[in-house]
Amino acid sequence: MKGGLIEGLSRRLFYIPAVVYLVIFAFVPLGISIYLSAPSSDFESYIRLFQLTDFTRVLYNTLVFSLGSAVFSVLIGMAFAILVDSRRRGKRAISLIAYLPYMIPFTASALIWATLFNPGYGPIDPIFKAIGLPQINWLGPSYQLLSLTIVGVWAAMPLAFLIILAGLTSVPKQVKEAASVDAMGTWDYYSTIALPLAKGAIITAFLMTMILAFGDFDLPFILSGAGGVPPVTMATLVVYSYAEMFYENLTSQGLATAMILALLVSIPGLLLVRVTLGGRSQGGREDLKDKGKSGIRFPSIKLPTFNIHPPHIPNIPNAPFRYTIYVVCGLLSIFILFPVYWMFLLAFRPQSLDYLLPPIIYPTKIITDVFVSTVFQAMPEIITTLAVAGAVTLLTILLAAPAAYTIARDGRRGLLGLMIYLFSIPSIAFVFGVFYMISRLHLLNTWLGLILTEPLFTIPFVIWTMSNFYNSLPKSFEEAALVDGYSRIRSFFQIVMPLARPGLVAAGMVAFIFAWHLLLFPLVLSQTPFSFTFPPVGSNTVTTFAIMFDPDSTGGTLSNNVWVQLADSGIILAIPVIILSLIAQGYLLRGLYSGGVKG
């Protein structure tokens, strides 16, 4: 009896710390936001929203941006995934091209695309004119939503690529060998075997990219001017809510907007829960036997089952299909690579070349003095971001790794479903409640304020991905350790953790990148740069530093080298992410593939 009680307590010790953290820093702020969104019993703030013509347009913008980003990022990601999966050589190089936009933080991406779209000195219009296409005012009222969606597709495509590639590589080896023996062509193999088997990965990619687009703050915020009230022709619900809460002093109305967005995202969020949990009962785990051990139960929600029956597609000869994939991915590679090339070009050329017509799109002279001065200027923000991201990574691994283990081994599907759903809720739904709590704790503009709050984004995602990784580990080592007298806790730390090192590296890298990317929370919780005092005061990050440079300026706002320093700050943002991605790419891919994203 006593041994069973101790065993039960030890099992709960694995996930209770993570749950307690999320209750304090996720559910309490969310509850505060819900309560303040309707201060009166007649829900006046919600009713007033639907009486505003601007709100209808912003809702339309959000749906178009989210659906457009998801659909086209999945199509482009699928093309690159097929190309990588079908080749024997060059897989790493092609994967690196497809993965490259993920290495560029959203803040830097938006800033660089703003210079590309600049109607006066950006390179896109002259390129269009040179090839006979009409010139477009990309950031004008008529095309702002299109421009935002293009950048959203560029930023979201790597995630779709990785998930779909994971699905294609999970096709059983014997199936591939049978297709080869039957001399099946490339088109026949992918259209009739690989893609249908990977439909779960494709659906997951679509839902995840759509969820992230719904909650994307950085891209619409920066492309609409990085401050103040955004133009209604480009605003999405996220930036509209932020402007109402922090610029227009319409707190209840802004929170109501955020709650409506959270309800809207709940649709793909719950579908993602269904798709993910629907394929996890296989694999030798006691999911069905232990489903009552979840500890946290969802209400019974009937969601649709995905049974996709594609229409008959005519046969395409092998060679034309391959050439088509090569051409399409070659053209898309230009779309992927040019913004990164433009960022480095701007960063290391004289500022006098930025405002010439037509723009110069090739290097003529390389300078480094502005980049070096920008690095020193941003040193307080760099130190803050490194310290905060490192601490967030450590806290995430400490809380998420044990929780993910108990989900994998004890079949706590309810807890896993809760993590996936929590991951889908946009950050704007938490930010005001978090701001309220941190201000009451007198932690505004401190490193601790960011360290305590940012893991609410990383912990659910890492629990989700690490539980997948633990499922791939054999149980025999743990069972042998328990027979030898090891406790469950000792077995986890001495046996499981070393075996899970690739997954931990991948999870730590993802957590660091998440924390490094964040803009909304530092924007709300920070006020000044780090003052080089202890305890640390001042918590501006590299993302808040980067948005100080106005991409529409021709000089004279913060310096006379606006575009140069904008590109420099983008490189500063990107360098740690690029280094981590290159070092840990193998670990990351193994961690993702172990997720069982199979059709």
pLDDT band at residue 249 using 50, 70 and 90 as cut-offs: confident
Residue 496 has pLDDT above 90, yes or no: no
What average pLDDT score do residues 340-364 get?
A: 82
Q: What are phi and psi of 314, to 5 degrees?
A: -65, 150
The one-letter amino acid code at 440 reads: R
Provide the pLDDT for residue 297.
Answer: 39
Written as six digits, the tokens of 552 are: 């529409």
DSSP per-residue letters across 55-81: HHHHHHHHHHHHHHHHHHHHHHHHHHH
Work out the percent of the chain whose per-residue pLDDT is above 70: 85
CB contact set of 333 (below 8 Å; sequence gap of 6+): 97
3-state class (DSSP) for residue 361: coil
Backbone CA torsion sign across 200, 202, 205, 211: negative
Q: For 526-598, where are the alpha helices, taking DSSP H only?
A: 542-546, 562-583, 585-593
Tens of pLDDT, residues 282-329: 433 444 344 434 333 333 344 444 454 545 555 566 677 788 888 999
pLDDT at 155: 93
Nearest Cα to 432, choosing from 346, 500, 524, 317?
524
The phi, psi pair for 537, rounded to 5°, reads -120, 135
Listed range (28-37, 251-260, 491-500) with the worst mean pLDDT? 491-500
pLDDT at 4 over 60: no
Q: What is the mean pLDDT of the chain?
A: 82
Axis crossing angle, helix 379-410 with helix 501-517, rounded to the nearest 10: 140
| Beta carbons of 281 and 287 less than 8 angstroms apart | yes
Give the span between the Cα atoms of 514 and 520, in whole angstroms: 12
How large is the average pLDDT for residues 347-358? 78
Work out the pLDDT band at 222, boundaries 50, 70, 90: confident
- From residue 492, give the alpha-carbon distance in Å to each of 11, 406, 463, 486: 11, 10, 16, 9
- pLDDT tens sequence across 395-428: 999 999 999 988 888 888 889 999 999 999 999 9
| Residue 24 burial (C-beta neighbours within 10 Å; 0-12, 13-18, 19+) | middle
What whole-number distance in Å separates Cα of residue 524 and Cα of residue 240?
Answer: 15
> C-alpha angle 366/572/139, rounded to 5°?
85
Cβ–Cβ under 8 Å, residues 552 and 114: yes
Residue 555 per-residue DSSP state: S
Bigger pLDDT: 118 or 332? 332
Q: Is the pLDDT of residue 490 over 70?
A: yes
How far is CA 471 from each of CA 5, 48, 284, 496, 500, rounded to the nearest angstrom? 26, 49, 9, 11, 10
How many other CB atoms are found less than 10 A from the CB of residue 590?
16
Q: Report the chain's C-alpha Rg in angstroms.
A: 25
For 134-189, how does the pLDDT look when each residue is reduced to its tens digit (9 = 90+)?
878 888 888 889 999 999 999 999 999 988 998 888 888 888 778 777 777 777 88
Percent of the chain surpassing pLDDT 90:
36
Q: Are 504 and 414 in contact (CB under 8 A)?
A: no
In this structure, what token pair is assigned to residue 363? 């290097």
Q: Which residue in the block uniquely carries the two structure tokens 């989700």?
A: 464
- The amino acid present at 63, given as its one-letter code, is L
Question: What is the C-alpha separation between 508 and 516, in angstroms, rounded?
Answer: 12
| Mean pLDDT calculated for residue range 322-350 | 90
Task: Please classify residue 442 by burial: count the beta carbons closer than 10 Å to its beta carbon, then call 0-12 exposed, 13-18 middle and 19+ buried.
Answer: exposed
| Beta carbons of 443 and 526 less than 8 angstroms apart | no
Q: Which of 266, 265, 223, 218 is nearest to 242 (CA)?
A: 218
Alpha helices in 40-143 (DSSP H): 44-50, 53-86, 91-103, 106-116, 124-130
Q: Which of 36-40, 47-51, 284-288 has the lowest mean pLDDT?
A: 284-288
Contact call for residues 592 and 163 (beta carbons, < 8 A): yes
Q: Which residue has the higher pLDDT, 43 or 226?
A: 43
Tell me which amino acid residue 95 is.
S
Domains of the chain (ranges; CATH) run 1-32+368-547 (1.10.3720.10)
Alpha helix (H) ranges present in 411-500? 413-424, 428-440, 447-453, 455-471, 476-483, 488-491, 497-499
Structure tokens at 272: 């993602």
Amino acid at 212: L
Confidence bin at 374 (pLDDT 50/70/90): confident
Count Cα neighbours of 514 within 13 Å in the Cβ-side half-sphere: 26
Least confident of 64-78, 200-214, 523-537: 523-537
Res 388: pLDDT: 95
Give the residue carrying structure tokens 């006098």. Answer: 352
Q: Which of 54-58, 119-123, 225-229, 375-379 has the lowest mean pLDDT?
A: 225-229
Distance (Å, whole) CA 54 – CA 231: 10
CB 253 within 8 A of CB 49: yes
Asked if 137 and 124 touch (Cβ cutoff 8 Å), the reply is: no
Tokens representing 400 are 């998420």
Joined together, the tokens standing for residue 467 give: 């539980």
Which is more confidently placed, 102 or 560? Answer: 102
DSSP structural state of residue 292 = G
Query: For residues 400 and 507, what is the distance between their CA atoms, to the nearest angstrom?
Result: 9
Is the full-model pTM beyond 0.95? no
Mean pLDDT calculated for residue range 185-197: 84
What pLDDT shows up at residue 151?
Answer: 94
**Which runs of E-coded beta strand occur in 215-343?**
none
Mean pLDDT of the region 334-358: 85
548 contacts 558 by C-beta, under 8 angstroms: yes
Q: From CA 469, how far away is CA 435, in angstroms rounded? A: 34
